[in-house]
Chains A and B, each alone.
Chain A
Amino acid sequence: MADFNVNLRGVGSVSVIDVKGYLDAHTAPELENMFSKLITDKQFKVVVNFDQLNYISSAGLGVFMAFVEQMRDNQGDIKFSNMNDSVYNIFDLLGFPVLYEFYKDEKEAVNKFSNLS
């Protein structure tokens, strides 16, 4: 049923997290663990690829809110890419685009990091 999968890739100095399926209160801890691990590993530049995400709940949104500050404090960020419209609408309604960067393409997001450094 509501499956969720997270996968971590390294693209240069940027970590790319692929999220897949349904991200809700039950599956959010998986993503949380991933972010905690990145922080322990001092990987603060993160792009989350939403290409295969079908649904996100408020608990799922909370995961990004919980970690973004730490990333930004360490000259990093969490950027979003490849979001389908229905998922983007949820982010948009909440006003995430005011605070986070959204990109159509993962490469674009990754490059944004490299341009800065």
Chain B
Amino acid sequence: MKFNLQKIARSRKLEYSIFVFILLFLYNIVFPMHDVLVLFIIHEMLVFAAAFILFEYLKDFFTSRMVQPISLVLNIGIFAAVIFLVASITKFTLSSNNINIETRNFISALFSILAIFILIGIVIFIFSSLRELFFLRQKKDPSVYMNTMLVFFMFTFFSNIFVKINPEYDFIKESFYVVSIILISLNSLRVSWIGFLPKKQKVYLILISVVLILVFSFNFGMISGDDSFETIVVSFSPGLLTLINLIMLYGIIFSTVLFFTTLFHLPTAEAFDRKREEVSSLIDLTKLITQVFDFKELAESVTLLTSKICNSDASWLVIKQGDEFELKSVNNIGYLEADELTKFILGQKYDMDEGVTIVTRHNLAPFVKNSNSQFNFDSIAFSCLMHHEDISGYLFAARSLEIKYDDDDRKAISAFANYAAVALENAKLIEESIEKERMEKELDVAREIQRKILPHQVPELDEYQFSALFIPAFEVGGDYYDFFKLDEENYAVVVADVSGKGISAAFIMAEVKGIFGSLSKIFSNPKELLVRVNDVLKDTLDRKTFVTSIYYVINIKTGKLSFARSGHTPALLCSNGVIQKIQPPGIGLGLDYGISFENSLKEMEISLNYNDILVLYSDGIPESKNSNFEDFGYERIEKIVSDSCHLSASEISNKIMTELTTFSLDNSQHDDITLVILKRLNNNK
């Protein structure tokens, strides 16, 4: 919005200046001669207004774009040359045609007005450029000096009126002129921007400034000397001549200052360039810290920038991995050589208190003697990378020339090592978090797989309602349940619980599923089946892992069930609101692989009547804890089941889970939960 307004204001200024120029042009057509004082004053004012408004327009024009100082100077030079050209051509055409100024015809009048307009434009452009250079790289606002100079320019401009009134008043003009020159000289000294130029541009600037001095001097000479060009300008407006005069003088003084300042800056240019390089390298590194998360890429950038920052021929970076220091990246040195050098230098046990340690060729003599590689470094500087008061790595820089690492180099390397330590630590952390994210994704996949190996749906039978539920404590769990259709009349149901939780339990759970799935097709007798399962598990379970399970086969015609249990929480049978624990004896799978297992197992037969409910669950339910570390307990489950035996299987399941959730609200689930409910319906009722 603000920008738009400025833009409008600027375009208006352009319109104004065009308008004033047209006005000036018309005025000159109407009054070709303005010897009368009033006409003269009006004309002078018009000329000044035209120049001033154009200046205002150009000022905004420059401010709105960032211009390189060197190109500004170049522009000034080009336009100064154009003045020279215009002046020369004017002089040439006028003198060759030998036209008397008093009797000039209309065309030559037009021509001279046009030439003057161009002259005004160029001069103002030069002045605006000089003003722009004046404001360049100024920390404080120096506009008051510039404005004072402008005011005196104006005074000098209009003091011509006094001269016109009476040539004796010449001294007024002279004094304003002198003050203006003093101000010009003062303002010309503001050239601190030169210091910030690279050495190459400084050399270039010296050349340009020499040319500028010459061109401006020629122009100055041409304008102030008694010359036909001068006559034209004076006859148009004496004030303009004074103004041009001042600006040309400004050009000369400024160029001279430019020349000498640049010349004096030249010897320090290289040091300045180096500092700049250091600063920009640090900025690059800061960018890297925030943008590059790839550890390898970062390590390479760090070594490359290190070489650059302290004028080294080679550099390399070692990072602590466990107890070893591992070479991470090299720049301009062989991997093997860098590795050998690192081992040798770190083997010397230098005192690292100073931040940066310098190792000279002399210190490296034993290494050079033993090494096969061609050693051509004169000195090596290295600094440690600190992380939480531990050394996390070392940054090495090596020079082959006999130039010692000075204090600046040390500081640079030290600062760089600090930055690099932070950057590399960041990259490491990000890498770790990416790895963690990857693990989480893998766990998601595992969860999905586990969900898929559990039954997708419960058997749909006319007389029976099934419901099943599995909630792992973590992403995956060690609980397992399944339904098998053995034949038209017989179905088998299993609930198992692998000891432990998480991934390890989930792997065994998948295996258990495979074993039950395949063996249930062969052994229809529950006890025999569990014995066989135990036999198979012998080869895979480690000694401290066991699996509890409960398995039954139901004949859906008769409602008769045969049960076997291996260490699992007992099943609950609810008939008419009365709870009976179904707990046939049997030790957990994997507790014993001998005869004890088989001997411990007893089968149990029950029959399921209409509206009877059979609940199988894992110990995750009774062992759920509340904030006081109290168990949910078996009694609560039994009570819920007996209270809700009139409900459907899935409704009972929901009720148990709702109560369980309310109970353990403040405590996270710490074991897997499985709940499989069967209800026999009475469809004949």
Is B239's CB within 8 Å of the partner chain A?
Answer: no
Q: Which residues of B contact A69 (CB under 8 A)?
A: 543
- Asked if B600 and A95 sit within 8 Å, CB to CB, the answer is yes
Scan A53-67; emit 1 where CB is below 8 A from any B CB, else 0: 000011101110110
Of the candidates A2, A25, A63, A94, the one whose C-beta lies within 8 Å of that of B591 is A94
Q: Which 10 A-B pairs have the closest CB atoms?
A: A95-B587, A62-B544, A58-B499, A66-B544, A94-B567, A94-B588, A66-B543, A98-B600, A98-B587, A95-B567
- Asked if B587 and A62 sit within 8 Å, CB to CB, the answer is no
- Asked if A94 and B545 sit within 8 Å, CB to CB, the answer is no
- Asked if B548 and A94 sit within 8 Å, CB to CB, the answer is yes
Q: Which residues of A contact B540 (CB under 8 A)?
A: none
Is B376's CB within 8 Å of the partner chain A?
Answer: no
Taking A65-B544, A93-B569 as contacts, is the C-beta distance between A59 and B587 under 8 angstroms? no
B65 CB to closest chain A CB, in angstroms?
67
Q: Which residues of A contact B543 (CB under 8 A)?
A: 62, 65-66, 69
Closest residue on chain A to residue B501 by CB atoms: A25
Q: Chain A: how many interface residues by the 8 Å CB criterion?
A: 17
Q: How far is the CA of A62 from the CA of B588 in the complex (A)?
A: 11
Q: Which residues of B contact A61 (CB under 8 A)?
A: 499, 546
B494 CB to closest chain A CB, in angstroms?
17
- Asked if A95 and B585 sit within 8 Å, CB to CB, the answer is yes
Is B586's CB within 8 Å of the partner chain A?
Answer: yes
Closest residue on chain B to residue A62 by CB atoms: B544
Closest residue on chain B to residue A63 by CB atoms: B544
A67 CB to closest chain B CB, in angstroms?
8
Q: Which residues of B contact A25 (CB under 8 A)?
A: 500-501
Is A116's CB within 8 Å of the partner chain B?
Answer: no
7 contacts between A and B (CB under 8 A): A61-B546, A62-B500, A65-B591, A93-B567, A94-B548, A95-B587, A99-B591
Is B596's CB within 8 Å of the partner chain A?
Answer: yes
Is A88's CB within 8 Å of the partner chain B?
Answer: no
Q: Which residues of B contact A57 (CB under 8 A)?
A: 671
Count of A-B contacts with CB under 8 A?
60
Closest residue on chain A to residue B566 by CB atoms: A95
Taking A58-B546, A65-B546, A66-B543 as contacts, is the C-beta distance between A94 and B587 under 8 angstroms? yes
Q: How far is the CA of A63 from the CA of B544 in the complex (A)?
A: 6
Is A113's CB within 8 Å of the partner chain B?
Answer: no
Of the candidates B497, B500, B592, B629, the one whose C-beta lies within 8 Å of that of A59 is B500
B residues lining the A interface (CB < 8 Å): 497, 499-501, 542-546, 548, 566-570, 585-588, 590-592, 596, 599-600, 629, 671
- Asked if B592 and A99 sit within 8 Å, CB to CB, the answer is yes
Q: How far is the CA of A1 from the CA of B664 in the complex (A)?
A: 16
- Asked if A95 and B586 sit within 8 Å, CB to CB, the answer is yes
Chain A CB within 10 Å — which of B544, B567, B587, B671 has the most?
B544
Of the candidates B501, B544, B546, B596, the one whose C-beta lies within 8 Å of that of A94 is B546
Q: Which residues of B contact A103 (CB under 8 A)?
A: none
Q: How far is the CA of A105 from the CA of B587 in the complex (A)?
A: 24
Closest residue on chain B to residue A68 by CB atoms: B543
Q: How far is the CA of A69 from the CA of B538 in the complex (A)?
A: 14
Q: Which residues of A contact B548 (CB under 8 A)?
A: 93-94
Interface of B is mostly: loop
Q: Which residues of A contact B501 (CB under 8 A)?
A: 25
Within 8 A of B (CB), among A36-93: 57-59, 61-63, 65-66, 69, 93
B664 CB to closest chain A CB, in angstroms?
15
B636 CB to closest chain A CB, in angstroms?
15
Q: How far is the CA of A32 from the CA of B545 in the complex (A)?
A: 14
- Asked if B546 and A96 sit within 8 Å, CB to CB, the answer is no
B249 CB to closest chain A CB, in angstroms?
88
Q: Which residues of B contact A65 (CB under 8 A)?
A: 543-544, 546, 590-591
Within 8 A of B (CB), among A6-28: 25
Q: Which residues of A contact B599 (CB under 8 A)?
A: 98
Q: How far is the CA of A2 from the CA of B628 in the complex (A)?
A: 11
- Asked if A96 and B499 sit within 8 Å, CB to CB, the answer is no
Q: Which residues of A contact B570 (CB under 8 A)?
A: 93
Closest residue on chain B to residue A1 by CB atoms: B629
Closest residue on chain B to residue A28 by CB atoms: B544
Q: Which residues of A contact B591 (CB under 8 A)?
A: 65, 94-96, 98-99
Q: Which residues of A contact B544 (CB under 8 A)?
A: 59, 62-63, 65-66
Q: Which residues of B contact A94 (CB under 8 A)?
A: 546, 548, 567, 587-588, 591
Closest residue on chain B to residue A32 by CB atoms: B544
Q: Which residues of B contact A66 (CB under 8 A)?
A: 542-544
Q: How far is the CA of A94 from the CA of B499 in the complex (A)?
A: 11
Q: How far is the CA of A93 from the CA of B586 in the complex (A)?
A: 8
Q: How far is the CA of A57 from the CA of B546 in the complex (A)?
A: 12
Q: Which residues of A contact B592 (CB under 8 A)?
A: 98-99
Of the candidates B500, B569, B588, the one whose C-beta lies within 8 Å of that of A95 is B588
Q: Which residues of B contact A93 (CB under 8 A)?
A: 548, 567-570
Q: How far is the CA of A96 from the CA of B597 in the complex (A)?
A: 11
Closest residue on chain B to residue A24 by CB atoms: B670
Given contacts A95-B587, A95-B588, A98-B596, 18 further A-B contacts (CB under 8 A): A25-B500, A57-B671, A58-B497, A58-B499, A59-B499, A59-B544, A61-B499, A62-B499, A62-B500, A63-B544, A65-B543, A65-B591, A66-B543, A93-B567, A93-B570, A95-B567, A98-B587, A98-B592
Q: Which residues of A contact B600 (CB under 8 A)?
A: 95, 98
B497 CB to closest chain A CB, in angstroms?
8
Q: Which residues of A contact B588 (CB under 8 A)?
A: 94-95
Q: How far is the CA of A75 from the CA of B528 in the complex (A)?
A: 33
B265 CB to closest chain A CB, in angstroms?
70
Chain B CB within 10 Å — which of A63, A96, A99 has the most?
A99
Q: How far is the CA of A58 from the CA of B569 in the complex (A)?
A: 13
A32 CB to closest chain B CB, in angstroms?
8
Q: How far is the CA of A63 from the CA of B499 in the complex (A)?
A: 11
Q: How far is the CA of A65 from the CA of B588 in the complex (A)?
A: 11
A33 CB to closest chain B CB, in angstroms?
14
Q: Which residues of B contact A62 (CB under 8 A)?
A: 499-500, 543-546
- Asked if A99 and B596 sit within 8 Å, CB to CB, the answer is yes
A7 CB to closest chain B CB, in angstroms?
22
Q: Which residues of A contact B542 (CB under 8 A)?
A: 66
Q: Which residues of A contact B497 (CB under 8 A)?
A: 58
Closest residue on chain B to residue A94 by CB atoms: B567
Q: Which residues of A contact B586 (CB under 8 A)?
A: 95
Closest residue on chain A to residue B542 by CB atoms: A66
Q: Which residues of A contact B499 (CB under 8 A)?
A: 58-59, 61-62
Q: How far is the CA of A25 from the CA of B544 in the complex (A)?
A: 12
Q: Which residues of B contact A99 (CB under 8 A)?
A: 587, 591-592, 596
A35 CB to closest chain B CB, in angstroms?
11
Closest residue on chain A to residue B585 by CB atoms: A95
- Asked if B587 and A96 sit within 8 Å, CB to CB, the answer is yes
Q: How far is the CA of A99 from the CA of B591 in the complex (A)?
A: 8
B130 CB to closest chain A CB, in angstroms?
78
Q: How far is the CA of A52 from the CA of B567 in the complex (A)?
A: 24
Q: How far is the CA of A61 from the CA of B497 in the complex (A)?
A: 14
Closest residue on chain A to residue B500 by CB atoms: A59
A62 CB to closest chain B CB, in angstroms?
3
Q: Which residues of A contact B629 (CB under 8 A)?
A: 2
Closest residue on chain A to residue B588 by CB atoms: A94
Closest residue on chain A to residue B592 by CB atoms: A99
